[in-house]
């Protein structure tokens, strides 16, 4: 294995280990010694890659931002089923990601201001902007009900997904596909234009599940 | 001031101080020394009242549970406007509480399993059960739309309120009355029976604001 590849593996192991400990114990409590031990590397190796815990947190946030982008870009590419179905599929992929991927989960929490030193928008804001753009696109497609506000729908979706993530930390049922499907089943008849509604799959499409990263 | 009254004040000051530090730094990070210093009492006084940090967390959780009960009981007593309006008013009171009352906020987070040693249900579960009972009562009143599921509506309301709380930690706009009003404005035409809908106030009633604790 080339030296560069080894270094990249070590870096990724440290990011994964930091995400696990930030997620379990919180940013403040997690210690660099525990993070390096869990990654199976020396303290010296950790300090070679990351100057501080804040730098490590920033790396977790960046890795999570890439995974979020992969999820949302994947959704956007497959937008031929319409913006609303793309949004449903993407929200299912994100919630699956929250259940399975500790880097994604920890990255969203680091966006809470703790440990974040980056200048880019935090992940919650990026996700919110993306949802808002998807609803705006649905409106342009004529797929939104005439009396439904894209802004209000954005608040509801971003709020509920953030709530399912927070509640899912204690009870995984909140992150189950069934919970999100029930939410969409409730919301869609309110926000989707009548003729569009029949074609929408609240549980997400099979194509969406295959194409999207999680 | 009688000795008993003084002891009660000290106890309450410690609960308030602990809630502030749990909320700011997390349960694990908050130290007993900082909690007693912030409350303006000695370490000895803290240990006279609370044997451990877990005992202090349990007291915060119990104080928060009492405040939640005051909010939900207050709502239930004024139920003459119907179960749906009672639920709207109560959700506004709770979200106001999250913005203003650090004990309520910290108590909900302690329910996350960290630091909680009590046997009673955590606050999220109590709130969820209350919302579910309110929707069931609305259904008995004939106030729910025939195709709206009380269970799905419960998931949406509990999820969104938990999300607004989580997101509000970084951006207080999520805990503003406007955000919750927009959420109810979106949800009500979907869940309320057509004849009931016109009488419902998504922003909460003035009577509700007066009567409810926050």
| Confidence (pLDDT) at A112 | 46
Q: Which residues of chain B does A156 touch, with a Cβ-Cβ cutoff of 8 Å?
A: 156, 160, 183, 186-187
| Confidence (pLDDT) at A77 | 67
Q: What is the mean pLDDT of residues A196-203?
A: 95
Of B28, B113, B182, the CB nearest to A26: B28
| Confidence (pLDDT) at B170 | 86
Nearest CA in chain A to B169: A112
Q: Which regions of chain B carry the CATH code 1.10.357.10? A: 61-211
Q: Give the integer Cα–Cα distance in Å for B188 and B88.
A: 10
Q: Do B190 and A185 touch (CB under 8 A)?
A: no
Q: Do B183 and A122 touch (CB under 8 A)?
A: no
Q: Do B159 and A179 touch (CB under 8 A)?
A: yes
CATH of B1-50, one of 3.90.550.10, 3.40.47.10, 3.40.50.970, 1.10.10.60: 1.10.10.60
Write down the ipTM of this complex. 0.91
**Contacts of range A45-51, beta carbons closer than 8 Å, 24 or more positions apart:** A45/A10, A45/A14, A46/A14, A49/A7, A49/A10, A49/A11, A49/A14, A50/A14
Q: Do B160 and A156 touch (CB under 8 A)?
A: yes
Q: Give the integer Cα–Cα distance in Å for B211 and B214.
A: 9
Q: Which residues of chain B does A148 touch, with a Cβ-Cβ cutoff of 8 Å?
A: 186
B214 touches chain A (CB under 8 A): no
pLDDT band at A170 (very low <50, low <70, confident <90, very high): confident
Residues in chain B with pLDDT < 50?
112-119
A160 touches chain B (CB under 8 A): yes
For the stretch A17-75, pLDDT in tens is: 999 999 988 888 899 999 999 999 999 999 999 999 999 999 999 999 999 999 998 76
For the stretch A69-120, pLDDT in tens is: 999 987 666 667 799 999 999 999 999 999 999 999 999 988 644 444 444 5
- A residues 174-213 closer than 8 Å to B (CB): 174, 179, 182-183, 185-187, 189-191
For the stretch A113-142, pLDDT in tens is: 444 444 456 899 999 999 999 999 999 999
Q: Do A170 and B26 touch (CB under 8 A)?
A: no
User: Radius of gyration (Cα) for chain B, nearest Å?
Assistant: 19
Backbone angles phi, psi at A23, to 5 degrees: -65, -40
B28 touches chain A (CB under 8 A): yes
What fold, for A61-211?
Tetracycline Repressor; domain 2 (1.10.357)
Q: What is the mean pLDDT of residues A144-160?
A: 96
User: Radius of gyration (Cα) for chain A, nearest Å?
Assistant: 19
| Confidence (pLDDT) at A150 | 95
Q: Which regions of chain A carry the CATH code 1.10.10.60? A: 1-50
Q: Give the integer Cα–Cα distance in Å for B203 and B184.
A: 8
A124 touches chain B (CB under 8 A): yes
Name the nearest CA neighbour of A202 among A87, A49, A59, A79: A87
| Confidence (pLDDT) at B50 | 96
| Confidence (pLDDT) at A162 | 97
């Amino acid at each position: 294995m080339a030296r560069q590849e080894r270094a990249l593996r070590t870096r990724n192991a440290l990011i994964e280990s930091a995400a696990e400990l930030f997620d379990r114990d919180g940013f403040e409590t997690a210690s660099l010694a525990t993070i390096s031990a869990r990654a199976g590397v020396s303290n010296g190796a950790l300090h070679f890659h990351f100057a501080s815990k804040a730098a490590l947190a920033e790396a977790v946030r960046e890795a999570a931002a890439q995974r979020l982008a992969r999820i949302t870009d994947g959704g956007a590419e497959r937008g031929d089923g319409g913006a609303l179905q793309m949004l449903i599929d993407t929200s299912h992929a994100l919630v699956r990601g929250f259940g399975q991927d500790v880097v994604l989960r920890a990255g969203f929490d680091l966006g809470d201001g703790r440990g974040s030193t980056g200048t880019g928008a935090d992940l919650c804001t990026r996700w919110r902007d993306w949802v808002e753009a998807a609803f705006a696109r649905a409106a342009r497609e004529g797929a939104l009900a005439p009396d439904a506000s894209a802004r209000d729908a954005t608040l509801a979706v971003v709020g509920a997904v953030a709530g399912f993530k927070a509640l899912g930390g204690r009870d995984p049922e909140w992150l189950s596909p069934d919970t999100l499907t029930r939410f969409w089943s409730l919301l869609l008849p309110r926000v989707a234009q009548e003729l569009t509604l029949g074609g929408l799959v609240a549980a997400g499409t099979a194509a969406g599940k295959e194409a999207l990263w999680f």
